[in-house]
Amino acid sequence: WEWMSQGGGRVDRLSVWVGSLSSKNPRRCIRIGRKKIIASIEGIPSVAQSVSFERPPDFGAWLSIIDPDQRANQPFKRGNLVLIFNGEIYNYRELRASLQKYGAKFETKSDTEVLLESYRKWGKDCVNHFEGMWAFAIYNKSNNHLFLSRDRFGEKPLFYTIRNHVFHFASEPKILDALCATPLEVNIDKVRTYLVNGFRSLFKDGQTFFKGVFELNPASYLTIAEPDKVTPKIYWKPSY
């Protein structure tokens, strides 16, 4: 995903980069604008060269585990909300039943739709209702806000960076390196800290081995109205 701001900090568009990322197929770009969704066949050669996947051509189906029906494919769109989701919500059946009591209507059997409807009902507090592992992003076309979250123990990765007023996020730094106009620089201070203090030092400040690239900490979320204003918030801590 690539979130861009143009002119006075106004958010212009959110782009979701999806595709098979194989050498034989063109990359597919789905741009989600304020008023419409435009699907186009646009290549990102640098991404293709830096990432190699042996996958079927239908990217949306990769993330469909519980419900393989095409209606559950991603990016998952319902009304003014668009979701991209990696993981599994273990208690989705219980949440589905609760949401139906509030009048929610479901078209699939997927936990993806339950996640999205949970956000529609509870907003950012939806994460407190989830049991599972996840990294997801929800774009609200009504207010042009982007919401990202990661599960309590960080089982699913989520990295982000801001370059030239553009907010990028991905599941691994090499995707960010391919999306950014300039190559990522090695964070020498982080490397030095790791060599001196060991593995545990990696998780203290959210920084990574690359300058300007941050990992969203476990049990945290981001609500972004402008790409340059990013303040992660913790939604859960162990009670012991």
- Sign for the CA dihedral angle at 207, 14, 96, 92 comes to negative
Q: Which pLDDT score, from 0 to 100, does residue 151 have? A: 97
Residue 211 scores a pLDDT above 80: yes
Residue 54 scores a pLDDT above 60: no
pLDDT > 90: percent of the chain: 45
Q: Which pLDDT score, from 0 to 100, does residue 218 have? A: 94
Q: Which pLDDT score, from 0 to 100, does residue 1 have? A: 40
Q: Of 147, 175, 154, 174, nearest to 27 (Cα)? A: 175
Q: Which pLDDT score, from 0 to 100, does residue 180 have? A: 82
Residue of 16 and 97 predicted with greater confidence? 97
Q: Which pLDDT score, from 0 to 100, does residue 70 have? A: 62
The mean per-residue pLDDT over the stretch 131-153 comes to 94
Q: Give me the residue label for tokens 């609200």.
A: 140
The mean per-residue pLDDT over the stretch 60-89 comes to 73
Residue 63 scores a pLDDT above 70: no
Distance between CA atoms of 52 and 23, rounded to whole angstroms? 8
Q: Which pLDDT score, from 0 to 100, does residue 3 have? A: 41
- Rounded to two decimals, the pTM is 0.74
The mean per-residue pLDDT over the stretch 189-205 comes to 86
Helix (H) or strand (E) holding 46: helix 45-50
Q: Which pLDDT score, from 0 to 100, does residue 144 have? A: 86
Q: Of 151, 147, 156, 150, nearest to 122 (Cα)? A: 147
Helix (H) or strand (E) holding 89: strand 81-89
pLDDT tier, 119 (very low <50, low <70, confident <90, very high otherwise): very high
pLDDT tier, 26 (very low <50, low <70, confident <90, very high otherwise): very low
Q: Which pLDDT score, from 0 to 100, does residue 134 have? A: 96
pLDDT tier, 191 (very low <50, low <70, confident <90, very high otherwise): very high
With a CB cutoff of 8 Å and minimum separation 6, the contacts of 125 are: none
pLDDT tier, 209 (very low <50, low <70, confident <90, very high otherwise): very high
